[in-house]
């Protein structure tokens, strides 16, 4: 951020940081920044008569560690001029003063950015805290139920399966089980899976039961929707044989669930679009599935019963997404914002998503074009994003999330949903500062 201090009078030096690195984690994103954004942006600025030098600061670590490093940097007035962060961190960063409203940092340019018009409200919400925009959304995602068509066929289930209620999922699971599928249903649970349990497990279920983590400034405790969600876990892991309780405890359980899904051992799996893009991808996935396009089906996550989901929905999902922020300490906030915006320009996004690196960008105009060849992402963009929900972007969320994971773990290891919900409420009160902030 302060790097410009040392630069010669008219050269503006900018840095951009992401949790991505060439040859490692999110390599494609890193390549995009270094090979396209930086040269193009410098050229564009040159054309405007400004000499700008951009440096990319790569990283390739756990999100927690990236967050720690980012926080420490920002706290001490350092850090890159432009940096990425998980949308869920917006609130806590804002409260800590690590992030400031864009219009305060950059000025009117921020509000006048032409991209806003292309970004759906729900996605804009990711970057919004207390009604003000703190960053640019980088994209979004969504969760669906994947299923293995080969196994479904064996079990006599349709290839265009779309359950309407939780019971239908369980019924399908029974049939799969009867057909000898080792793991009929995998819904992430337990602490070992970490946030995957929350986002690909308990939160979609909670939403499906009509519950929300936080409502009107109060946290939801041992409410009926939570008990229902935990009850669903019990039906899968509590001796029915529909799920594999041990897998939920393994430190590398999620990896293994991917391997097993790719290896035709799991019938139904609740996951995000990342499974399709990054895991099963026949070319670049970590658990490649050569016949992904033929044998993997997907369906919306149903509410517990039709109309019982949040806002009376029949189907639900959860979404997250990254943000690209301008460092409040930046010496050149305007140029930094320009850089951030440049990375999210239509041309840029198209460039970034070339060569199979397709993801759901924040811009509808771009999505239309790039997703056309990707049925799943189109499906998510069209069908899921409109009905999806987001996590509360507040500091306490991380701990609440852990408490939720622990609640599912308790159910998997044999406690009743009521008991687990009560334990959750007790922990919640500890986290959010007393029973006054909790509604049950």
Which residues here bind another protein, judged by CB under 8 A?
Answer: 21-26, 57-65, 67-69, 71-73, 75-76, 78, 89, 91-93, 95-98, 190-192, 194, 196, 246, 248-252, 254-256, 258-259, 274, 278-279, 286-287, 395-396, 398-399, 402, 406, 409-410, 413
| CA-to-CA separations, 27 to 31, 257, 426, in angstroms, rounded | 6, 23, 42
Cβ proximity to another protein: between 43 and 72 the closer is: 72
Cβ proximity to another protein: between 167 and 399 the closer is: 399
- Write the DSSP symbol of residue 99: S
* Min separation Cβ 221 and another protein, Å: 19
* Min separation Cβ 209 and another protein, Å: 24
Neighbours of 290 (CB within 10 A): 11
| CA-to-CA separations, 424 to 227, 248, 317, in angstroms, rounded | 10, 18, 22
Cβ proximity to another protein: between 189 and 341 the closer is: 189
Cβ proximity to another protein: between 202 and 279 the closer is: 279
Contacts 24+ apart (CB under 8 A), 28-32: 28/352, 28/355, 28/357, 29/352, 30/56, 30/58, 32/343, 32/348, 32/351, 32/352
- The H or E element spanning position 143 is strand 143-148
Cβ proximity to another protein: between 21 and 340 the closer is: 21
* Min separation Cβ 108 and another protein, Å: 26
* Min separation Cβ 250 and another protein, Å: 6
Cβ proximity to another protein: between 313 and 343 the closer is: 343
* Min separation Cβ 152 and another protein, Å: 23
Cβ proximity to another protein: between 167 and 413 the closer is: 413
Neighbours of 326 (CB within 10 A): 30
* Min separation Cβ 167 and another protein, Å: 29
* Min separation Cβ 300 and another protein, Å: 21
Contact 139, 349 (CB under 8 A): no
Cβ proximity to another protein: between 71 and 364 the closer is: 71
Judged by DSSP in three states, 438 sits in strand
* Min separation Cβ 65 and another protein, Å: 6
Cβ neighbours for 414, distance < 8 A, ≥ 6 positions apart: 238
Name the CA dihedral angle for 197, 203, 206, 212, rounded to a multiple of 10 degrees: 140
Mark 347-373 as b/e (b = at least 16 C-beta within 10 Å): ebbebbbeeebbbbbbbeebbeebbee
Using CB atoms within 10 Å of the CB of residue 228, give its burial: 0 to 12 exposed, 13 to 18 middle, 19+ buried. Answer: buried
Angle (deg, nearest 10), helices 166-178 and 224-237: 10
* Min separation Cβ 165 and another protein, Å: 29
- The H or E element spanning position 65 is helix 63-75
Cβ proximity to another protein: between 51 and 399 the closer is: 399
């Amino acid at each position: 951020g302060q790097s410009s201090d040392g630069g010669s009078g008219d050269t503006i030096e900018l840095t951009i940081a992401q949790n991505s690195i060439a040859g490692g984690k999110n390599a494609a994103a890193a390549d995009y920044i270094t090979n396209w954004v930086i040269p193009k942006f410098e050229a564009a600025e040159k054309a405007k008569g400004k000499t700008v030098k951009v440096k990319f600061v790569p990283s390739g670590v756990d999100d927690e560690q990236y967050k720690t490093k980012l926080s420490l940097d920002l706290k001490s007035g350092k850090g890159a001029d432009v940096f990425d962060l998980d949308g869920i961190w917006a609130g806590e960063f804002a409260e800590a003063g690590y992030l400031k409203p864009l219009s305060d940092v950059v000025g009117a340019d921020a509000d006048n950015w032409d991209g806003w018009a292309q970004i759906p409200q729900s996605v804009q919400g990711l970057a919004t805290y207390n009604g003000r925009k703190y960053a640019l959304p980088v994209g979004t995602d969504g969760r669906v139920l994947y299923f293995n068509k080969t196994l479904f066929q064996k079990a006599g289930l349709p290839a265009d399966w779309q359950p309407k209620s939780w019971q239908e999922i369980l019924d399908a699971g029974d049939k799969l089980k009867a057909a000898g599928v080792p793991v009929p249903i995998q819904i992430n649970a337990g602490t070992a899976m970490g946030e995957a349990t929350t986002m690909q497990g308990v939160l979609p279920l909670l939403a499906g039961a009509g519950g929300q983590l936080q409502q009107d400034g109060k946290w939801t405790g041992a409410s009926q929707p939570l008990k229902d969600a935990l009850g669903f876990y019990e039906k899968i892991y509590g001796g029915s044989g529909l799920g594999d309780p041990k897998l939920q405890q393994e430190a590398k359980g999620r990896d293994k669930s991917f391997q097993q899904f790719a290896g035709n051992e799991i019938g139904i799996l609740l996951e995000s679009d990342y499974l399709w893009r990054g895991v099963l991808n026949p070319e670049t996935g970590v658990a490649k599935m050569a016949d992904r396009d033929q044998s993997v089906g997907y369906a919306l996550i149903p509410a517990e019963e039709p109309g019982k989901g949040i806002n009376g929905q029949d189907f639900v999902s959860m979404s997250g997404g990254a943000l690209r922020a301008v460092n409040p300490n930046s010496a050149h906030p305007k140029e930094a914002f320009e850089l951030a915006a440049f990375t999210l320009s239509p041309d840029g996004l198209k460039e970034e998503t070339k060569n199979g690196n397709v993801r759901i960008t924040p811009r509808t105009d771009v999505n239309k074009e790039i997703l056309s060849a990707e049925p799943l992402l189109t499906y998510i963009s069209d069908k899921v994003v409109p009905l999806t929900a987001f996590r509360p972007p507040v500091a306490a969320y991380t701990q609440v999330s852990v408490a939720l994971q622990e609640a599912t773990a308790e159910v998997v290891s044999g406690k009743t949903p009521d008991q687990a919900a009560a334990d959750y409420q007790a922990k919640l009160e500890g986290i959010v500062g007393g029973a006054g902030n909790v509604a049950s």
